[in-house]
Amino acid sequence: MNPTLAMLLTISVTVIAAILVLVLIFLIPVLLQVRRTAHEAEKLIDKDPEMGVPMGVRCVALFAVLVFANLPAIAFAQSSSCPGIHVKVLNIRNSTGTVDCALFDSPDGFPIEVLLSATNVMVIKVRKTKARCDFEDIPPGTYALAVIHDENMNGKLDTNWLGIPTEGYGFSNDAEALLGAPSFSVASFQYDGGTLDLTISLHY
């Protein structure tokens, strides 16, 4: 056999073997997680068949089907197929700390009284200057979002002695904070109970 051809065949086989190893490394944890999740869902259904299949279980089943049918699309998809308010947070200046998303359903306490007035709160670890908050099982209604980049993870938006924020913040509708926090009506949006994808850019 031609030495050059033999070398090319050897390189090709090595590359293919390496790709297969990487695919298996990725596939095995995903498939194990899907199997565990499906098993838990099956136990929930068997426990009380008359309850029907909850939305969360349907989403798990849809995820499992898509994993086997089109795994690469699932691995790199950015949007969610399950109903809810899905918030992509942009303009995060570093990967320090967390991004805290607070969902309000009324003007009461917006946007400061998060623990007392927010209907849902999510704290997400920042990874590679990216974060996403997914609110599911949310009834239709009028809502507003307040988001902060809690870099020192003290659970609040830090300010200087003048009261000017020293950490990132943002609101739904990209409502601006000029001489103070925006009102609920300015930041509010309608949610019909389906899938709603939003983006909020942080300001520093």
Radius of gyration of the chain measured on its C-alpha atoms:
23
Residue 44 pLDDT exceeds 70:
no
- Answer for the pair 169, 116: CB distance below 8 angstroms, yes or no: no
Segment holding 157, helix H or strand E: none
Contact 122, 132 (CB under 8 A): no
Q: Which two tokens stand for residue 65?
A: 């089907």
pLDDT of 7 strictly over 80: no
CA atoms within 13 A of residue 111's CA, in its CB half-sphere: 29
pLDDT at 179: 79
| Cα dihedral 14, 16, 17, 22 sign | positive
Encoded tokens for 158: 């830090």
The domain locations on the chain are 3-76, 84-201
Per-residue confidence (pLDDT) for residue 41, from 0 to 100: 46
What rounded mean pLDDT belongs to the chain? 77
Distance CA(137)–CA(55), nearest Å, equals: 8
Beta carbons of 40 and 64 less than 8 angstroms apart = no
pTM of the model: 0.62
pLDDT, tens only, 142-168:
999 999 999 999 999 999 998 899 999
